Structure 1
Amino acid sequence: MTERGLFSRRGLLAGGAALLAGPAIGTALAQSVAEVDIAIIGGGAAGIAAGLRIAQAGRSHVLLEAGERLGGRARTDTAFGLPVDLGTASFGRAGSGLASAAGAAGLPVSGLPGDRLYVDGHPASESAYDGFSAALGRARRDIVTAADAGRDVAVARVLPPPGPWSALAAARLGPLALGKELDALSTLDLALRDVPPDDATSPLGVGALIEALGAGLNRQTHATVNLITNSGRYHTLSIAGQRTTIRARAIVLAVPAPVIAAGAIRFNPVLPPRLLAAFRAFPAGTLEQVGFLLPGNPLELEPDEGVLASRDGTAPGARLRGRINGSDLHVLTFGGAPARAIAEKGEAAALELARAFLDRAFGGGVGEAVREVVASRWSADPLFRGAMASAMPGQGALRRLFGDPVQNRIFLAGEYTSLTDWGTLAGAFASGEVAAAKALRVVGGPA
């Protein structure tokens, strides 16, 4: 089938089976208007999940991705001759539609060991690990207690008095998980977040897994939607640099919340003021990944083992995932101020920060072995503008607005739309399935 035939009205309405069998849509579209049951904007986990559900239902669809490939913030690159996820690198399997979809597609999923704790350069004793776990548990209980009492204040204001593990517990809850300090996080929003641990990955790379799931969808990359117009029974989508417009009976809008908040997509009529205020109340955190080789396994880690570290009662500022797929490849995740430095200054800052972290966390000149790094810069990428979206203090209740339809036919999807699974890859995938189900009801259900 030619590119024009695939994107013609007849091609788009041919049904899910034919669409799944077709190739990707090219970037040059010859006709002026195309019609489709449901348009999906954004090719990350949420958009792909929506596309899979809609294709299964036999409804015509098109998935429009502004970037050069699918996957969103789950992106697998090649560095040092190895696949490396410089983005989302794990997900939860418990009740996960993502894990089920990967299994149905025959894509490999592997388990992850739990995090190891290092204290002052050495593996922690059992009593030290128990002390840290207890401190983390107390902090979480106090957050939930405050939220139950109606106190949606900064998380930092409700934590217990400082103790031996307070700094590491605070880092684990805030900068290392969400890319923000606890004084910038809503107590209510964090209390509602109740997610299973990220205990799975893929030897392909999580980004490669997500991209493979979307490979059969009717899709177009390099397709930046810059205007959505409510035309009554249809919404019309305009794509930057293309004469073709798309008319859709329903839309799944699966782009990151910071992109919408920044006004990168215009709406006619404009979004409701309350919804716009909600987007602005959920700024993105800052998380950046740094990959490097550490030969000889000096830290004596198991394959894919995570590491949290404490030195002199403080948190050195990153989380390590070691020996990716059993190799010498390691990845550090920095959050907050160090991540902002990486986003602004690139790999020179990343190399300096990685070496400093390794020396401080583990001692023995471990950092000197790192000669070269690769680094993400999600916060500087206009297609993402940061990591997950979390509420400012006092604004946690606004997250519920993201589950409501917009202009009756637009349904939001993405990690930020879930009340309890926000900020996770599994939550993003589930949100796409939910949005697709709502869109399908608008167009009359399965074909």
Structure 2
Amino acid sequence: MIRFPRPSRREVLAGLSATVLAAPALAQNAGTGVDVAIVGAGAAGIAAARKLAASGRSYVLLEAASRVGGRARSDTGLGPVVDLGAATFSRMDGTLADAAGEAGLPLVAVPSAARLFVDGHEVAESGYDAFALALGRTRRDMLAAADAGKDGPAAAFLGSRGPWTATVEAMLGPLGCGRALAAVSTLDLARRQAPPDDVTCPLGLGVMLERLAAWTNLRTDAAVTQITNAGRFYALALRGERSVIRARTVILAVPAAVLVSDAIRFNPVLPARVMLALRGCPSGAIEQVAFTLPGNPLHLADNETVLARAGEGAPTLLRGRVGGSDVHVLRFGAAPAQALSGKGEAARQAARTVMRGAFGLDMPEKLLVSNWGGDPLIRGAMAVASPGQGAQRALFASPLGRLVFAGEYTTPVGWGTLTGAWNSGEIAAERAIRLTGGPA
């Protein structure tokens, strides 16, 4: 989420896109019954599992992949650890930081501001003023439209074209949520009030979530293929297994795009209004390319972010000196992200072109490239409401019978953030506890 108080010469604020647990209940196997089955072990599913474990309810956390964390994935292919999905989160407005601290996991502060570059050099204070003015006007007009109940394309509020218009457009749209502003709901974007991400875990956020999931009743490589409402309980069928898991309540903590894809079948099928709401919030496209840049040629602080307005190219977002190392990460959004998802050579050429155009720098051959769009268990980045669909997220706030939704897409104000996903999991667990009887 972008904040825009009066900036200094060096900074412009920009958002880039628990309790201590008792031992978990472990007496659940396929074919037995549990109070709650959680489908998906990303941040939302892990948060829900920890909440249920603390409550004493029986539960099982089912993850189709061999690893947990969802879009938080740590990689050491370049030597130092780097996250190619979620890389930072907010210590405010949630309990994720508290859970990490109670688990003894280290957290470090990161700059919650981005530096502005033009043609490889930081802009003067007047450049920050001009960017903040363009951003502030756009946000003000969007908020006014949302307050008036208008929900057209967010691109309509960019105002007159100026030197920073394209940068504001990219920051709010492709680089911020993975979709061009012409395809983004004004209401959805205006309602988003996520605090700026200001902390990370030096072990990697993927590793952090793995540690937080360690004391849960977790089953990996457990792909749920069908959920059947059998009256008093739900029957969950797993790929390759003849027996089923019976649960009184189910928490669906998988991405909205996975539910739309019919990767999980429902009997009876989900209501049309739910499917329409899910389709009204399609996934944005964000991919990241990591590489080493020795010698700190851009003179960046550790974990610092740069928003670059290239002379002829598209605006660029660079996360520099990850964890104090020589690793840097470029972010691509919308069409450019779709073009390089899963394509190593295309990613290399795109990253090289960006680095030369924005910073005048060459880059090494070895890269790490994300593939969120091509991962069948993820299917893209955050869920973003299309124009006219901004009110649809409210539908996920209520359980559907004893099916409870969780994930970043379920929160109108914190969508697209790791903190929002974690908070949604805790809220889903509280709802599941009430549905199974007894206080949350």
State if a TM-score over 0.5 links the two structures: yes
d(CA) in 1 for partners of 2:301 and 2:205?
19
CA distance, structure 2, for counterparts of residue 246 and residue 318 of structure 1: 47
Task: State which of 356, 360, 368 in structure 2 corresponds to 1:374.
Answer: 368
> Among residues 331, 341, 357, which one is paired with 2:354 in the alignment?
357
The answer to whether the 8 A contact 1:343-1:376 is kept is: yes
Deviation of 1:159 (Å): 2.3
CA contact (8 A) 2:303 2:319 kept: yes
Query: 1:415, 1:424 within 8 Å by CA — same for their partners in 2?
Result: yes
2:89 aligned partner, one-letter code: F
Is 1:422 equivalent to 2:405 in the alignment? Answer: no
The Cα offsets for residues 114-163 of structure 1, whole Å up to 9 and x where unpaired, read as: 21110122011111112111211111111111111221100111221112
Equivalent position to 2:58, from 53, 57, 60: 60
Deviation at 1:96, TM superposition (A): 2.1
How many angstroms apart in 1 are the aligned matches of 2:339 and 2:156?
27
Aligned pairs (5 A) from 1:275-424? 275-312=274-311, 316-344=314-342, 346-363=343-360, 366-367=361-362, 369-406=363-400, 408-424=401-417
Q: Is the 8 A contact 1:167 1:315 kept in 2?
A: no
Tell me the residue number matched to 1:8: none
Which residue in the other structure is 2:5 paired with? none
Corresponding residue for 2:131?
A: 132
Contact 1:57–1:446 (CA under 8 A) maintained in structure 2: no
Task: Please give the alpha-carbon distance, in whole angstroms, between the structure 1 residues aligned to 2:424 and 2:135.
Answer: 28
**Matches of 1:316 and 1:171, distance apart in 2:** 8
- Asked whether the equivalents of residues 178 and 423 of structure 1 are also in contact (C-alpha less than 8 Å), the reply is yes
Contact 1:152-1:394 within 8 A present in 2 as well: yes
Letter of the 1:49 partner, please give it: A
Aligned equivalents of 1:224 and 1:317: distance in 2?
Answer: 39
Give, in angstroms, the shift of residue 172 of structure 1: 0.3
1:209 matched to 2:211 = no
- Give the partner amino acid of 2:345: A
Considering only aligned residues, what root-mean-square deviation do their CA atoms show, in Å?
A: 1.6
Does 2:89 match 1:96? no
Give the conservation status (yes or no) of the 8 Å contact 2:44–2:407. yes
CA contact (8 A) 1:252 1:435 kept: yes
Separation (CA, whole Å) in 1 of partners of 2:94 and 2:347: 33
Q: Secondary structure at the match of 1:354?
A: helix
Give the distance between the partners of 2:294 and 2:80, measured in 1 at CA.
Answer: 14
| 1:152 and 2:151 are equivalent in the alignment | yes
Q: Please say if residues 402 and 412 of structure 1, whose CA atoms lie closer than 8 Å, have aligned partners that are also in contact.
A: yes
Q: CA–CA distance in 1 between the matches of 2:275 and 2:435?
A: 24
- Picking from 101, 105, 108, the partner of 2:106 is 108
Q: Which amino acid letter does the alignment assign opposite residue 430 of structure 1?
A: N
Runs ≥4 residues deviating over 2 A: 16-20, 314-318
2:7 corresponds to which residue?
none
Q: What SS is found at the alignment partner of 1:117?
A: strand
Between the aligned partners of 2:262 and 2:92, the Cα distance in structure 1 is 35
Q: Decide whether the 8 Å contact of 1:168 with 1:315 is kept in 2.
A: no
Any unmatched runs of 5+ in structure 2? 1-20
Pick closer, same or farther for the CA change 1:361–1:190 going to 2, 3 Å: same
Give distance in 1, aligned partners of 2:243 and 2:334.
41
CA drift at 1:170: 0.5
Q: What secondary structure is seen at the aligned counterpart in 2 of 1:131? A: helix
Query: 1:446 deviation in Å?
Result: 5.7
The unaligned stretches of length 5 or more in structure 1 are: 1-15
Match of 1:431 among 414, 421, 424: 424
**1:77-136 C-alpha deviation (Å, 9 max, x unpaired):** 111222110111011111221111111111111111121110122011111112111211
C-alpha displacement of 1:315? 6.0
Matched, 1:444 2:437: yes
Q: 2:24 aligns with which of 12, 19, 27?
A: 19
What's the offset of the Cα at 1:18? Answer: 4.2
Name the structure 1 match of 2:188: 189
TM-score, normalisation: structure 2: 0.92
Counterparts of 1:109 and 1:18, CA distance in 2: 24
Partner Cα separation in structure 1 for residue 279 and residue 226 of structure 2? 20
Size of the aligned set, in residue pairs, is 419
C-alpha displacement at 1:317, in angstroms? Answer: 4.1
Counterpart-to-counterpart distance in 1, 2:331 and 2:67: 23
Assess if the C-alpha contact under 8 Å between 2:24 and 2:56 holds in 1. Answer: no
Whole-Å separation in 2 of the counterparts to 1:309 and 1:349 = 21
2 CA distance for matches of 1:323 and 1:169? 24
SS at match of 1:19: coil
CA distance in 1: counterparts of 2:215 and 2:234, whole angstroms: 25
Aligned to 2:189, the other structure's residue is in SS state helix
**Aligned pair partner of 1:47 in 45, 48, 53:** 45
Provide, for residues 263-315 of structure 1, a one-character-per-residue CA deviation record: whole Å limited to 9, x for no partner. 11111111111011111111100000111000111111111100000123x66
Tell me the distance in 1 between the aligned counterparts of 2:84 and 2:310: 26
**Higher relative helix content:** 1
Give the residue type in structure 1 aligned to 2:419: A
Deviation at 1:210, TM superposition (A): 1.2
Alpha-carbon offset, residue 19 of structure 1: 2.5
Whole-Å Cα distance in 2 between the matches of residues 317 and 260 of structure 1?
Answer: 33
With the length of structure 1 as denominator, give the TM-score of the two structures: 0.91
One-letter amino acid of the structure 2 residue matched with residue 83 of structure 1: V
